[in-house]
Structure 1
Amino acid sequence: MKKRLLGALLAIALGTTAHADAPRLAPTVEQAQAAYLGSMFLSRYHYAVRPLDDALSSEIFDRYLKSLDPERLYFTQADIDGFADLRTRLDDAILQSDLQAPFALFQRFDERVAERFADARKLLQQDFDFSVAESYPLDRSKAPWPKDDDEARDLWRKRVKNDWLRLKLAGKDSQAIRDTLSKRYDNALARSRRTRSDDVFQTFMNAYAGSIEPHTSYLGRGAADSFDISMRLSLVGIGAVLQERDEYITIRELSPGGPAARSGKLAAGDRIVGVGQGDGSPVVDVVGARVDEVVKMIRGTKDTRVVLDILPAGSGPDAQHKNVTLVRDKIKLEEQAARKSVIPGSAGKRIGVITLPAFYEDFEGRRRGDKDFRSASRDVARLAEELKKEGVSGLILDLRNNGGGSLREAVELTGLFIDTGPVVQQRGADGKIAVESDLKAGVVWNGPLAVMINRGSASASEILAAALQDYGRALIIGEPSFGKGTVQTLVDLDRVANNEKPVLGEIKMTIAQFFRVNGGTTQLKGVTPDIRFPSAFEADEFGETGFDNALPWREITPASYQPAGTLQDILPELQRRHEARSKDDKSFRELQEDVAEVIRIKEMRSLSLVEAERKQEKEAREARLKARNGKDAEALRDDGLQSGERSLKAELASEKAFKDRKDFLLEETARIVADAAVLAPTPAATPTPASQSVAKAR
């Protein structure tokens, strides 16, 4: 096998005519070890266990190519044909701890990226004829690969022509267009050249893991650290959000109360050109570095010093620098935590809203027995008690775009709204069923309750929404949810290898499927709302059914539970009132128009490159925006620019406007909950402790 693998690699090397240099990136011994250890777990203990053989290797091959070149813009069919012998050899690469094969594939991709952007830069020296009847495809993910370099170059000609046309329609002259696109392509190439060996390995390992099941993945050390931070909602650093802008690491915003903000010496737009550790070691130049590399240098141990070499905002590259020394501190990520608000409903009712971005939990803090460890359920319990004291008549739990998190938190949070009973069932790979239950009597809120979901609500969000729906405890309002009905655990490969220093990363592996207490599952189908809002997303476009290897829907025996409410009795009247309001509501009419427009664009398949046609479409779109938004429509015009190409001030202003926009779906949900309070009034809830004692699950 090894000889055949070596022969395939040699064929790739010989097939590379214009690049005789050694590969830019190469695998490490630690990566080979991580791949082998990961395969041992995935092929033995996964919920949908699959042997690592030639059949799986073929799927890994296709998924790896898709990860590298999802729109089929860089590789040609000739490239793919040249890789053919590797299709059934990637399993050997993993099992024999020799990762030269996937890195050789990346090497070819790396070369193609450089070639394509070099060609794109050359195209900017010419003028385009926008009267020629041709088009550029909107989605090439399922298109054939360009058969050869000539076809690839023509595809890129159309891509550059489309970029040029967007800027031209936005009012830019030829020189401004050339300058903008030159910078865009140079920056894209610079980003690709900053790819590291770890990035290649993580992409390959995720192609392997994702070929088994969609929610199985590999987390390198950086990704694993980011996951831990997202779960405990805290880190040790300086309290600054950083962004790559051109060649500089730029301060995007400062966290209130953090060391950077407290210093009074830093501001949004300042550029970090060097980082030192405050221990007498030299300041390291970070111009041209990746933002994750700089973040790693800035984070550290609490109460230690970090030195930043700063180029002030708005100054030229030759301006005077300033050194700022900060003491690292614990930063709480409050913007990612549960938060509350109160909004009006119908009939003069005031409705409380708790927005929950994720089901977070400080696993280590809980394990250590920290008194104030952070968790979603504890925060929601506290906010619900506060809202109750404020005299709200109903409560909304907003889980839109909440992709999940801790299973234990989903169980404990559900327990805040039901007395006692099963919350979710788990079926392991051995077929055994385990039931996770709320064992703590009492609730923090027993009044009218709604849970808002959309297509981005997944996993733990679906567990909670499904349980409260089955118990008849809450109205589920919005769009059908994502449809992720699986449970994952993290396998620390360094712990397996008894490494003192973390170098191997972690495997996030699916170990079970969860089921509703009624015996059904949210897998594939998601949670269906009781009252549904319009949506532009179809399940096969954004959701579990969009994966080609998702686990099937199943049904098991229902758990023994007692429904707590009779919402079905008032649901027809709630629906009738909602429809009556939305029929005459301007925002709902505009949403329906937007849905129709999205569907129309999706059906177009391609963009015309004829200027007159595109201009007509643009004018119609802008007229529609002006009719809706009046003087604010100008800010919504297509300026032809991409993220990072506008000024930082403009980007921040646009983001603020997006956050501050009217949330009419939330407002309508409040009216529905207020209607429920009138139709089915309930007594005030009795407070209970926020912490719940349940079976440990993750």
Structure 2
Amino acid sequence: MRTQLLRGLLICWLTLSLNAPLVAEEVSTRQYTPLEELTPSAEQRRVAREVTRTLVRQHFASVALDAELERQALENYIDQLDPNKALLTAAERQAILERTAELEAALVKGDLEFAFEVFVSIANKNKARLERNLVQLQEELDQFSFDQDQRFMPDRREQPWPTSQAELETYWQQRLTHELLSLMDAEQTREEARDLLVRRYQNQLSRLRQTNADDIFQGFMNAFTTSVDPHTNYLSPRRSESFNIQMRLSLDGIGAVLQTENEYTKVVSLVPGGPADRQGQLRPNDRIIGVAQGVEGEIENVIGWRLDEVVDLVRGPRGSIVRLEVLNQDNTARRVIEIERNAVELEDQAASSRRIEVQEEGATRHIGIIEIPTFYLDFEGQRNNDPQYRSTTRDVARLIRELQEEGIDGLVIDLRNNGGGALQEANSLVGLFIPRGPTVQVRDADGQINVLGDSSGRVFYEGPLAVVINRLSASASEIFAGAIQDYGRGIVVGERSFGKGTVQTILDLSYGQLKITRAKFYRISGASTQHRGVEPDIAFPPLFDPDRIGESASPNALAWDQVQPAVTRRHADPAPLIATLLSSHQQRIQQDANFLFLQEQSEWLRRHNGAPSISLNLAERQREQQQDEQEQLAMENRRRERLGLELLSQLEEMDPSSEEPTPLDQAILYETGRILVDYTRLVSQQN
């Protein structure tokens, strides 16, 4: 599977490295407003009213700001601030839930003091708990017992709220013991584990102190919007920019993936071919301690800054200059690097292709694989008639052309883990494979149905086609897979998809944007994908639990329904061939080492689903961990033995940096290719 480079570059995710020493002479100059002094702005008050009016008037569902919705919004807000039920007792939670009148005033009148008060109250409980944890770790380490006969449940989301402070104290004592044991599992001593955990909690305190008013407001508004449906969200101006970057797969900057490490902003990696990569002086693991604009601008110390604030300084219009003051990995050399900003293409999330070979009756068949991680479209470039604007359909068409020049006997579109994106791209992508006709139906809140389709009359690719989906294939992915299935244009294999059948529109607000559900989409068969998703023609062993992942597992998700089918002419009817394909598939996988490994992994994951408890006894925990490792090792060695590969004595002997497809990827893609070859042969015989 690919690394998630785009996500890192868009939001520069926060991760903690616990081994890097702080440099005494380098200190933060950034002062953040104390939590108690954060207040809502006039802009935020106005936007709260805008969002509430818009949801009531324009959301697809009939939204009424009644007691039920208000309570749901409050429950969402509390769950967001205390997701693991580790800070509030049931009585404290109930006291907040009784303040629905203040929540209504926040939404209707913009009286946001209530939202800020609740946030600060729970954040201060978190702050006090983190500080108490540090005291226990630093002064009371000898009081932790690692031979007790207790078990700890890390995931408390489905558990009842604690009834007393004593219950919370027990939870935290067990959690600290669990976290120490987890670090000691990695062959750290008790003291080394303590030091690492202390640094972790110090970082959590630092991030908590960096909270700003936008963080509070955005969280509160999304607690409200997701009470209506899980895909309606308020986007702050900063999040709006990240969303637009994701759609166009391009930004203006230097092309560096950054993350927070203690008080520093660290360079994780460079985008190949980006401005920083071409300039050649910035390196992974460098720490950015200052940023200046232009060749003469004053360098501003950014130690201790929020990551998004540093990113804002580093980004800028193409052609402009940014100067970075950096320390190398061991903090011994300081230097200033001058980089000219330019367009950074985020290729990691763009469609990509490769060929695989499968055997059929002694003959080698070449199958093209096109992986589409997301449905993207540079809306601005399209509006401006930029001849080089990026889109999924344009890229896929180019990749198909390249594969055909190399020679392929069939094509697989890999939509695993594709969470959707631009709906119009799913529509236009279907048009590459059918001559003309409807591809998706969209129904608005008034019941009006708009049928989207392809009218080009030209088929870009006429050869054999298969589509691979899994539980994380959602939205636009489901439209594409469903249309290919409804037309009989190809075979769909894999897991049942996510089940997101709603359409969101981005509305500009006076401050930020609102992503709001305005419609639902339906397959040309008339069936919604909402909740139920797309059922593959041939199912593979699942690697995700549908009871925990998917639209049907999402609170407040809209219901499934259907509309009249859109009359269309099917390309073919695979149904009569499915039984034969399935029989061949089942016979073949009994001899396929990678697919047998996939089946074993699926069964292992099924047995470990849920929220398992973990022993707080070091010896018992090590025994359970060794048992899990032995099970995984045995599965890997059975796979290797079937393939005639050298067996492993331990899992650590595997090369985690290998660029080869994983055994699970090989199982899924190669078997999909074989199914496609079978299908092609059966269709040929039928004709």
TM-score where L is the length of structure 1: 0.88
Query: Structure 1 residues 388, 632: closer, same or farther in 2, change over 3 A?
Result: farther
- The CA deviation string for residues 47-95 of structure 1, in whole angstroms up to 9 with x for no partner, is 0031223332111100011111111112223432442442342121121
Give the alignment of 1:669-688 within 5 angstroms.
Answer: 669-681=672-684
Q: Post-superposition shift, 1:273?
A: 0.6
Alignment counterpart, residue 293 of structure 1, candidates 276, 297, 309 = 309
Distance 1:609 1:137 in 2: 10
Residue in 1 aligned with 2:339? 326
Output the CA distance in 2 between the equivalents of 1:591 and 1:122: 46
- Other-structure match for 1:527: 534
Which residue of structure 2 aligns with residue 563 of structure 1?
Answer: 570
Aligned residue for 2:608, secondary structure, equals helix
Q: 1:22 to 1:311 in 2, by over 3 A?
A: closer
Report the aligned-residue RMSD: 2.0
Report the alpha carbon displacement of residue 117 of structure 1 after superposing the two structures with TM.
1.4
**CA distance in 1: counterparts of 2:396 and 2:547, whole angstroms:** 33
Query: What pairs with 1:193-272 in structure 2 (closer than 5 Å)?
Result: 193-272=209-288
- Match for residue 18 of structure 1? none
> 2:22 maps to what in 1?
none
1:70 maps to 83
Q: Which residue of structure 1 aligns with residue 640 of structure 2?
A: none
Q: Is the 8 A contact 2:48 2:106 kept in 1?
A: no
Over 3 Å counting, the alpha-carbon distance change for 1:134 and 1:275 in structure 2 is: same
Cα distance in 1, alignment partners of residues 423 and 43 from structure 2 = 31
Q: Given residue 310 of structure 1, which amino acid in structure 2 is its aligned partner?
A: V
| Superposed displacement of residue 634, structure 1 | 4.3
CA distance in 2, matches of 1:632, 1:285: 50
Aligned amino acid, residue 563 of structure 1? R
Per the alignment, do residues 103 and 384 of structure 1 end up closer, same or farther by CA in structure 2, a change over 3 Å counting? Answer: same
| Residues 323 and 483 of structure 1, relative CA distance in 2, 3 Å threshold | same
Q: What CA distance in whole angstroms lies between the structure 1 residues aligned with 2:70 and 2:94?
A: 16
2:384 paired residue number: 368
Once the two structures are TM-superposed, the CA of residue 205 in structure 1 deviates from its matched residue by: 0.7
Q: Deviations over 1:316-356 (max 9, x none)?
A: 3xx33100011110111111111110011232100001111
2:444 paired with 1:428: yes
Task: String of CA shifts for 1:617-640, please: whole Å, max 9, x gaps.
Answer: 111122233332654844389xxx
Q: Which residue of 1 aligns with 2:662?
A: 661
For the pair 1:97 / 2:100, whether they are aligned, the reply is no
Matches within 5 A, 1:294-693: 294-313=310-329, 315-316=330-331, 319-347=332-360, 348-494=364-510, 504-603=511-610, 605-627=612-634, 628=636, 630-631=647-648, 633-635=650-652, 654=656, 656-657=657-658, 660-662=661-663, 663-664=665-666, 665-681=668-684
User: 1:189 and 1:591 mapped to 2: Cα distance?
Assistant: 42
CA separation of 1:99 and 1:258: change in aligned 2, threshold 3 A:
same
Q: How big is the shift at 1:197?
A: 1.2
Kindly state the Cα deviation for residue 478 of structure 1 after the two structures are TM-superposed: 0.6
SS in 1 for 2:397: helix
Give deviations 1:141-170, integer Å, cap 9, x for gaps. 122222333321210110111111222233
Letter in 1 for 2:495: E
Residue deviations 1:244-298, cap 9 Å, x none? 1222111111112211111111111111011111153321111122222111111
Q: CA deviation at 1:681?
A: 4.3
CA contact (8 A) 1:346 1:674 kept: no
Output the CA distance in 2 between the equivalents of 1:394 and 1:302.
41
SS in 2 for 1:116: helix
Letter aligned with residue 527 of structure 1: V
Aligned-partner residue type, residue 404 of structure 1: G
The one-letter code of the counterpart of 2:476 is A
Partner SS, residue 141 of structure 2: coil
Offset, 1:567: 2.1
Post-superposition Cα deviations, 1:496-531, rounded to whole Å, max 9, x if no partner, equal: xxxxxxxx1000011111111111111100000011
Which amino acid letter does the alignment assign opposite residue 190 of structure 2?
Answer: S
Structure 1 counterpart SS, 2:163: coil
Cα shift at 1:224: 0.7
Q: Name stretches of at least 5 consecutive residues in structure 2 with no aligned partner.
A: 1-33, 638-646
CA contact (8 A) 1:487 1:512 kept: yes
The 1:608–1:271 alpha-carbon spacing in structure 2 relative to 1, beyond 3 Å, is same
The offset of 1:22, in angstroms, is: 7.3
Letter in 1 for 2:606: I
Q: Pick the aligned partner of 1:41 from 41, 54, 58.
A: 54
**Partner residue, 2:5:** none
Q: Distance in 1 between matches of 2:602 and 2:192?
A: 34
Q: Is the 8 A contact 2:295 2:323 kept in 1?
A: no
Q: Matches of 2:237 and 2:503 in 1, distance apart?
A: 22
Cα separation, 2, equivalents of 1:507 and 1:491: 5
Structure 1 unaligned residues grouped into runs of 5+? 1-20, 495-503, 638-652, 683-698
Q: TM-score, normalised by structure 2?
A: 0.89
- Report if the CA contact (8 A) 1:448-1:681 is conserved: no
1:182-201 counterparts in 2 under 5 A?
182-201=198-217
Letter in 1 for 2:80: S
How many residue pairs end up in the alignment? 635
Distance in 2, matches of 1:415 and 1:481, equals 21
Compute the displacement of 1:25 (Å): 2.2
Quick check: 1:126 aligned with 2:127? no
Query: Contact conserved, 2:71 with 2:97, CA < 8 A, in 1?
Result: no
Corresponding residue for 1:688? none
